[in-house]
Structure formats: structure tokens, C-alpha cells
Amino acid sequence: MVQSTFGSVELDFTSKLFMKITDQQLSEHGLEPQSQGKVLLIACGALAREILAVIKANGWTHIDLQCLPAIYHNKPEKITPEVRKTINKHQKSYSNIFIVYADCGTGGDLKRLCDEMGVEMIEGPHCYSFFEGNEVFEMREEITCFYLTDFLVRQFDAFFWRPMGLDRHPELRNMYFGNYTTLVYQAQIKDHALETIAEDCARRMGLDYEYRFTGYGDLEVALDKFSTNA
Amino acid sequence: MSDQDDDIVLSELNDEDLVAQMFDDLYDGLKEEIEEGVNILLGRDWAPYRVLTEALVGGMTIVGNDFRDGILFVPEVLLAANAMKGGMAILKPLLIATGAPRVGKMVIGTVKGDIHDIGKNLVGMMMEGAGFEIVDLGINNSVDAYLEAIDREQPDLLGMSALLTTTMPYMKVVIDTMIEKGIRDDYTILVGGAPLNEEFGKAIGADAYCRDAAVAVETAKEFMARKHNQMATNA
């Protein structure tokens, strides 16, 4: 059993709920709501496993999760219009909606949309920040660090290596990463296999490697607040 | 490139065919072939400026157009840029020595907190190809770094680049500081970077937002022409 500590609750990552979702599905298609709760989370597919883990650990049966394709990470201009569509689609079916995207490269567009549509969103510039805790992340001022989360470690080739053409043209590596110094793996769960992969990613990128266990950080806090107020 | 291209001997091509082949080689990011082509044209008494504009800039313009139209993607553009860089390295000292025409001067840099420079480097290279003198400040530039460079270099244009939504607001800090110091209108300010748009450029008080390197070059040329015309009118 693969386990992680969430608060005082141990999470079972081998349960049916987790096993039947593939990373490819989350990357390309996202995730449809699994049940009929009364409130809805609209989130990035890259956060699906983490959010489901928190929901399960807390027994929040009143919360449903809809994820948009995680690959929007590489096309942030798609995020705001797709979130708008999803809110419109579900607004009548749920009493409350919470957006589990940070700014994520939308340049404030997503916040403006949320204000316009009367929904709340998680705070922070991106998931690297809220996983670590927004205050701590801001204080670090690590402008030469490249971050990976659990999902991005697993999807490193699909999200970075191949779209950047590095599988075909490794000579471009320093043009992309020449100004970076360190790959920071922000781990949400303790998984030795992922650590090994992340370290290998750093080697391929020509960067130093740092492991940082974050758990769910401000994600957990924000979901708890939403659940309480929902 | 197809296999048949392996048999092409660049030195045996006439000028027209050689330039056409160099366009293909740039498109395919073949740095060594571009360097060889540049040397052949120079050996045929082409002026360095002519090699630059007709062979290299001409080829990169095709690359830029295909990138804009979604035919080429970032990796291919980077390979082409790398090939052009090889040719430029040969031409640059010769261009200086031969006193090639200079269209204007630009100070360019990525803003504070941002280390991304791929777009900025492309703009700098294409601007150089168009006859601009480029002073590249590199990455992570503070207001002071920009102001010192402006004071030292007295450019016509200031270019600022950012890739992150968290760093692009810093462009406004630079422009506002220039306004405070009463020097804003002495320079044309161009801004660019993936998360920017025209609306943002206007909102922060830049003269123009440039969505890619080709647009940056054309915009810079337009502003230089306007400046030239104004000077002629006021003379």
C-alpha cells in the first residue's frame, strides 16, 4: 500500500478511486464529476489526485470534482475561457463552486472571471507556490529554480521534454535551461520511485537537484475552508 | 532535409541557388552549413551587410512567418536561430569593420525576477540583422540596471521582456520611474513576452507590444522612421 500522511489521516493511494484514473486522461481530458455532491470544485487535472485524496481523507461526500485537462499548463491562455464554460455548464446544478487554479499564467484573467461570476479561487501565482505555502514560497525568491510536483515528475516527458523538442534536439537544452540552477522536486506524497525519477530529470536538464516534501500545503487549507463554508 | 540534400556541394551552387539553399538550411537549423554558406558568399566578394540581409535575414523571415502561422514551433525556431547565430558570429566583426548602415540603437533586457531569455535573444538577433545596434543587458534587470544602461548608451529604443505573469508588471515600474525622472519620452519603449498582449502594453505606458521578433523589428523600424521624419521636420 502506498500511503501518505495528510494531517493525522493516512491516505491509501492504491484504492480504486486512484487506480482507475490515468495521468494521460488527466493530462488530455481532465475528469468529470464522479458523484452528485452539492458543491463543485473546478480544478487543473494536475491536482486531481491530491484533491481526491483530501476529499476522501475528510469524508467530504458533498464535494464533487471536475478537472480540466492538465496540459493547459502549457497553454495558460486556454484556462480562463474553459473555466468560464465549465462554470456556466454546472452553475445551476451546484449551490457553490470553488476554482482550484491559482493564477497559473493567466495574468489576472482568472481572478477577474471569478469576481465577475461570483466564485472564489485558491490564492497564489501557481501550484508550486500554494503547495509550499504562498508566504514561504514568496519569501524564498528562488528565480533560478525549476519546480516539479508529483504529477509533473510523472509527466515530465509529456509536459516538458517532448514539447520542447529535447527528445529530438538535446542540443537545445542550455537554451531552455541555461539560466536555471536547480530542479526542486516538491513532493506531495512520500514516494521513493518518484524521487528517483525527479533526480534523473534534474540530471537530464543539467541542473542541481533538491528534494522538498511539501505535502498539500495551502491546497489543504483552502479546501478545508471551502468545505466548511459550503 | 531529404537525403538528396546530402549530395549538395554548396560551393558549386551559383549565388541565387546558394542563397535559396541557405534559406532551406536555416529552416532546418543546420549551423555548419550556414557558416559554410556565409564564408562562400564572402569569398565571392559579397559585402557582409548583403550576406546578412539577403541570406540570413531573408531565411529567418521565412522561419518567423511559419512560426507565426503555426507551421513551425519553438524548438525549430531555436534551431534556426542557433544556425543564424553561427553566421552572425562570422559577419559581426566584418559589419563593424565595413561600417554597415546602422538603423538605430536598442537597449534590451529581461525584467527583474525573470531569467527567461529565449524570446529576448531572438529579438536581439533579428534586430541586429535589421541593422540595429543591440546592447543586451541579459536577465533579471532592476530599474537601476535599465536606467544606467539608458544613460550610458543613449539608445533610441528600450526593449523589455518577461515570460512570467508574476514578473511582467515590473515593466510598469521601469516606465513609471522613467516618467518620474522626466526621460520617458526620450525613448521608444517596446515590450514583449508570451503572457503579454497589446492591452497590457498600452496599460503600462509602453509605445508598443511586439508579439514576436519579426513584429519587433518592423515596429522598431517604424518608430525610427517617424523619429527621422520628426527630426527632418524640426530641422
ipTM of the complex: 0.85
Domain region containing A183: 140-213
Query: Three-state SS across A67-79?
Result: EECHHHHHCHHHH
Residue closest to A223 by CA, chosen among A56, A103, A81: A56
Same domain, yes or no: A224 and A147: no
Interface residue B99 vs chain A (CB under 8 A): no
Give the C-alpha separation, B115 to A182, whole Å.
Answer: 13
- Across A107-223, the runs of DSSP E, i.e. the strands, are 120-121, 145-148, 182-187, 208-213
Question: What residue has cell string 507590444?
Answer: B209
CB pair distance less than 8 Å for B115 and A144: yes
Same domain, yes or no: A60 and A164: no
Residue closest to B210 by CA, chosen among B222, A20, A193: B222
Q: For residue A134, is it within any domain?
A: no
Tell me what pLDDT residue A81 has. 98
- Residue A99, strand partner residues: A42, A121
Of A143, A165, A172, nearest to B115 by CB-CB distance is A143
A203 has a pLDDT exceeding 50: yes
Query: What is chain B's pLDDT, residue by residue, as a tens digit (235 residues)?
Result: 445 556 789 999 999 999 999 999 999 999 999 999 999 999 999 999 999 999 999 999 999 899 989 999 999 999 999 999 999 999 999 988 888 778 999 999 999 999 999 999 999 999 988 889 999 999 999 999 999 999 999 999 999 999 999 999 999 999 999 999 999 999 999 999 999 999 999 999 999 999 999 899 999 999 999 987 777 766 6
Q: For residue A72, is it within any domain?
A: yes
A106 has a pLDDT exceeding 60: yes
At residue A125, φ and ψ (nearest 5 deg) are -80, -30
A188, A50 contact by CB (below 8 A)? yes
CB pair distance less than 8 Å for B118 and A176: yes
Query: Residue A89 burial (CB < 10 Å; 0-12/13-18/19+)?
Result: exposed
Tell me what pLDDT residue A35 has. 72
The residues on A that touch B, with CB distances below 8 Å, are 76, 103, 105-108, 125, 141, 143-144, 164-166, 168-169, 171-172, 175-176, 179-180
The residue length of chain B stands at 235
| Per-residue burial over A161-181, b = 16 or more CB atoms within 10 Å of its CB, e = otherwise | beebbbeebeebbebbbebbe
Q: For residue A29, is it within any domain?
A: yes
Q: Which range among A33-42, A71-80, B72-81, B174-183 shows the weakest confidence by mean pLDDT?
A: A33-42
Give the C-alpha separation, B234 to A37, whole Å.
Answer: 72
Q: How far is CA A182 from CA A145, A202, A215, B128, in A?
A: 5, 8, 20, 32
Q: For residue A135, is it within any domain?
A: no
Tell me what pLDDT residue A5 has. 39
Interface residue B204 vs chain A (CB under 8 A): no
Tell me what pLDDT residue A155 has. 97
Q: Side by side, which strands form the sheet with A208-213?
A: A145-148, A182-187, A208-213
The CATH number covering residue A222 comes to 3.40.50
Same domain, yes or no: A21 and A104: yes
pLDDT band at A2 (very low <50, low <70, confident <90, very high): very low
Tell me what pLDDT residue B207 has. 98
Cβ contacts below 8 Å, chain A against chain B, sum to 47
Q: For residue A133, is it within any domain?
A: no
Same domain, yes or no: A123 and A222: yes
Give the C-alpha separation, A182 to A184, whole Å.
Answer: 6
Give the C-alpha separation, A224 to A211, whole Å.
Answer: 26
Query: Residue B230 burial (CB < 10 Å; 0-12/13-18/19+)?
Result: exposed
Our CA-based measurement puts residue B200 at a distance from the nearest CA of chain A, in whole angstroms, of 10
CB pair distance less than 8 Å for A106 and B165: yes
Of A107, A144, A176, nearest to B165 by CB-CB distance is A107
Helices marked H in chain B — which ranges?
A: 15-27, 31-43, 48-50, 58-68, 74-97, 118-129, 143-153, 170-180, 198-204, 213-234
pLDDT tens-place string over residues A113-124: 999 999 999 999
Q: For residue A42, is it within any domain?
A: yes
From chain B residues 131-190, the ones with a CB under 8 A of any chain A CB are 139-140, 164-166, 168
**Which residue in chain B is spatially nearest to A126 when comparing CA positions?**
B166
Query: Residue A199 burial (CB < 10 Å; 0-12/13-18/19+)?
Result: middle
Our CA-based measurement puts residue B174 at a distance from the nearest CA of chain A, in whole angstroms, of 19
Of A106, A166, A179, nearest to B115 by CB-CB distance is A179
Q: For residue A28, is it within any domain?
A: yes
Residue closest to B37 by CA, chosen among B53, B55, B49: B55
CB within 8 A of B207, min separation 6: which ones? Answer: B188, B189, B190, B223
Residue closest to B120 by CA, chosen among B55, B216, B220: B216
Tell me what pLDDT residue A187 has. 98
Give the C-alpha separation, A215 to A190, whole Å.
Answer: 9
3-state class of B160 per DSSP? Answer: strand
Same domain, yes or no: A115 and A153: no
Same domain, yes or no: A6 and A104: yes
A10 has a pLDDT exceeding 50: no
**Which residue in chain B is spatially nearest to A103 when comparing CA positions?**
B165
Question: What residue has cell string 518620474?
Answer: B180
CB pair distance less than 8 Å for B75 and A169: yes
Q: For residue A78, is it within any domain?
A: yes
Same domain, yes or no: A36 and A114: yes
| Grid cell in block for residue A73 | 499548463
Same domain, yes or no: A102 and A166: no
Question: What residue has cell string 562570422?
Answer: B90
Among B32, B76, B115, B121, which would you mutate to test the A interface (most chain A Cβ atoms within 10 Å of its Cβ)? B115
**Which residue in chain B is spatially nearest to A179 when comparing CA positions?**
B115
Same domain, yes or no: A105 and A144: no
- CB contacts of B122 in chain A (<8 Å) are none
CB pair distance less than 8 Å for A168 and B75: yes
Give the C-alpha separation, B141 to B174, whole Å.
Answer: 10
Same domain, yes or no: A119 and A223: yes
CB pair distance less than 8 Å for A143 and B73: no
Same domain, yes or no: A52 and A112: yes
- The helices-and-strands tally (H runs, E runs) of chain A is 12, 9
Same domain, yes or no: A205 and A174: yes
A209 has a pLDDT exceeding 90: yes
The count of domains in chain A is 2
The full DSSP string for A172-193 is GHHHHHTT--EEEEEESS--HH
CB pair distance less than 8 Å for B165 and A125: yes
The full DSSP string for B165-191 is TTTTTHHHHHHHHHHHTT-GGGSEEEE
Of B74, B75, B140, nearest to A143 by CB-CB distance is B140
Tell me what pLDDT residue A7 has. 37
Our CA-based measurement puts residue B156 at a distance from the nearest CA of chain A, in whole angstroms, of 28
| Grid cell in block for residue A37 | 455532491
